Amino acid sequence: MTTDRMALLELIEKRADGDLVRELLAYAAERLMAAEVEGLCGAGHGERSQTRTNQRNGYRERPWDTRAGRIELKVPKLRKGSYFPAFLEPRRTAERALAAVIQEAYVHGVSTRAVDDLVQAMGMTGISKSEVSRICQEIDGRVNAFLDRPIEGEWPYLWIDATYVQVREQGRIVSTAVIIATGVNTDGRREVLGMSTGPSEAEPFWTDFLRSLADRGLRGVKLVVADDHKGLRAAASKVLHATQQRCRVHWMRNLLGRVPAGQRAMVAALLRTIFAQDTAEAAHEQWRKVADSLRERFAKVAELMDGAEHDVLAHRAFAREHWPQLASTNPLERLNGEIKRRTNVVGIFPNPQAVTRLVGAILLEQNDEWAVARRYMTLETMRPSADTELVSLPALVG
């Protein structure tokens, strides 16, 4: 142990430039491999021992791409069996998808200077098109299997939200919507149900997306929580026969944008009194009172409230315990934030398939995390809501 420590200190004192991190990583990797091989062999290197079960048989060169650059490792070989370092196991799906997208952009010559710098920092220079193709095919297989999997059971609640990315299509750079759908089933479990890319306002796109979910088995949807997309409103009614809950957060933001800056705090306080009510009936009554109180000074605000009452308060027809989650698309905000963080690294995607590859990989990982987490909604509160008939709020058509 003392010898190892002295060697490490000597390495640190010897170098102080950019190569130091790579050399430290290489040193640590060699020590990890030596320890693992010693465990497999039952004895240290050159040690004579009756407990020895295997012997080393030279080394093989193995490049290791890290965030600090490429490191050339010498991986020990064994006479019997094989050895592969645990720390060189394939990276997480989303990490590998991000690397694949960056590599593809780099190979096709469509990357920005920032992506070029990132490629250099990740040690990916000189990668071949065949290697990029191999990595992409492996990731695409997993992502497509996840996005096309059958949807089983009933899903009373469906959240849909969109984020936007830049994609190169036929020599132009266009803004493309990435639509994500998540749902909660009658057991209170949350899952990512699907994603697609396209124009977010077009009704045919929404219809095709929702029909693809229905074809995979989506059923039992009572409420669709989303922003105010005109195409989605018509498609949700046509395909799912479901009521739409307009995202309360986006609606309030839109409404307050029509109020003078000095009066926004007052109007926001009035609006919050609506959502503080304990019953659906009280919320609707308070809504109308607030609209009437604002009508004289803010006619446009009152007009917006008159047209949005049932859309924004649709969640009140369901179990009270679910109101915080059903009132807006906030349950998707953290997921969208992670998607934006990863997609911002790429900048401009080389094609729509690259978007599906990276975002799909992120969704796959998120779904795995939700699968082992506790229920999003308790089983006791889900059972009544699964049988609720929305007689007071029929499906709305935009």
Q: What pLDDT score was predicted for residue 271?
A: 94
**Alpha carbon distance 134, 312 (integer Å):** 48
197-242 pLDDT, tens digit per residue, is 987 767 888 999 999 999 999 999 999 999 888 888 888 888 998 8
Among the residue ranges 12-21, 114-123, 247-256, 341-350, the one predicted with the least confidence is: 12-21
For residue 188, pLDDT beyond 70: yes
Percent of the chain, pLDDT > 90? 38
Q: What pLDDT score was predicted for residue 133?
A: 65
Q: Whose CA is closest to 38, among 55, 61, 24? A: 55
Q: What pLDDT score was predicted for residue 389?
A: 43
Q: Whose CA is closest to 136, among 344, 349, 338? A: 349
Cβ neighbours of residue 206 closer than 8 Å, sequence gap 6 or more = 229, 231, 232, 234, 235, 236
How many Å separate Cα 328 from the centre of its chain? Answer: 18
Q: What pLDDT score was predicted for residue 255?
A: 93
The more confident residue out of 248 and 2 is 248
For residue 309, pLDDT beyond 90: yes
The more confident residue out of 63 and 367 is 367
Region 339-355 average pLDDT: 84
371-380 pLDDT, tens digit per residue, is 888 889 988 8
Sequence-separated contacts (24+) of 185-188 with Cβ below 8 Å: 185/153, 185/154, 185/155, 185/156, 186/153, 186/154, 186/155, 186/156, 186/220, 186/382, 186/383, 186/386, 187/153, 187/375, 187/379, 187/382, 188/375, 188/376, 188/377, 188/378, 188/379, 188/381, 188/382
Q: What pLDDT score was predicted for residue 310?
A: 93
385-395 pLDDT, tens digit per residue, is 444 443 434 44
Residue-level length of the chain: 398
